[in-house]
Chains A and B, each alone.
Chain A
């Protein structure tokens, strides 16, 4: 392979990454900022692929380029439209224009210093001989982990503690969102064109989720990517204006939300009772236990991400139907 032209490819890719990050943060128009950030996510997915990180690329493609774009675009809709440039500057320039400029430069200078320090530290790390103890330990023990994809082995076996706590973080994020109020208003029913797309896209997304969950044991994929794909199916249904988007109601929803942490903990405690370390799977069972935990985690992650897109506690469909009926009785609302 010709290394120089690959280097040119790298340079252009990185140039577009820096340019997009800069452009999305340089504008004051919320929508433009979000659109540029979505392009940033797309290019990042290519960069992960280039750096031989297909697991990360899968997650970035599903989340960075898909879900978080939809999430931020929906939020940008609610923002006030940008004023023409003359009027935006006027109120700020009243008293503190000088201070503003000084602050701006000070922050820029400090951030540049941070980048310099980081770069210096990294170059120190790179110039020392790499000590590959951790990757070595992983490849030595991979056979006993129950899966052959090293990233899945790290996530669900070697560092299963971290993943358990991460699922707890996701759960607390949803609980925080619930505490802040009701879900966003739904979308108006889609036209026939988008509806036609949704009709086959949603089943394909669900199938892809199943495929990613299964393949994660021996190839890039796993619960996180699969959960994101399932969530994407829910978000697509929501965008198409459907009232039922695959989320269960009430109590069942709460069980699904907690399933990831719950199953993880139950497996860990059961192993403790059997005299093994917490989450120390017996090698013969490891594959099956990991698949069980991953299935539960996928459902929880999907529910979390869909609820994150809703931005609040969903009204249960029964209550909502009653409210709609009432509405129609009173007036067109």
Chain B
């Protein structure tokens, strides 16, 4: 077992929990979106830690590819969520 790998993976778990808690408890939609992004980052940290093989060794490329696409999907989903938020607020202002 690699200490580095364990340290980073456990931090990933903590970040996932922090993000989930924020997404469930925050009142503001924008901050919920940020919280979901934090949670995603936790998952990414976990995956990249699992891929790590130690200093000087090539890591597993499959989780890297997963996280790479995950980052791009996360930003477009965030943009969609922000557009939804804007529309919701506009509708509320009209009432």
Contacts and interface: CB of A to CB of B under 8 A. Distances in A.
Given A30-B30, A59-B71, A115-B14, A71 B82 contact: yes
Contacts of B61: 135, 138, 150-151, 153-154
Contact of B78 (A51, A68, A127, A162): A68
B21 A78 contact: no
A180 interface: yes
Interface string B58-95: 11111011011101111111111011111101000000
Contacts, number: 236
From DSSP, what is the main secondary structure of chain B's interface residues? Answer: helix
Interface size class of A (residues with CB under 8 A): 35 or more
Contact of A53 (B10, B14, B48): B48
A71 B78 contact: yes
Interface in A31-77: 33-34, 37, 40-41, 44, 47-48, 51-53, 55-56, 59-60, 63-64, 67-68, 71-72, 75-76
Q: Which of B41, B42, B46, B72 has the most CB of A within 10 A?
A: B72
A264 interface: no
A18 B52 CA distance: 20
Interface string A123-158: 101110010101100110000000000110111000
Contacts of A34: 30, 34
A285 interface: no
Contacts of B19: 21, 25
Interface size class of B (residues with CB under 8 A): 35 or more
A56 B17 contact: no
Contact of B52 (A11, A52, A112): A52
Interface of A: 1, 7, 10-11, 14, 17-18, 21-22, 24-25, 28, 30, 33-34, 37, 40-41, 44, 47-48, 51-53, 55-56, 59-60, 63-64, 67-68, 71-72, 75-76, 78-79, 103-104, 107-108, 111-112, 114-116, 118-119, 122-123, 125-127, 130, 132, 134-135, 138-139, 150-151, 153-155, 159, 162-163, 166, 169-170, 173-174, 176-177, 180-181, 222, 224, 227-228, 301, 304-305, 308-309, 311-312
Question: Nearest 6 A-B pairs (CB), nearest first?
Answer: A308-B79, A115-B17, A25-B22, A150-B61, A173-B76, A154-B65
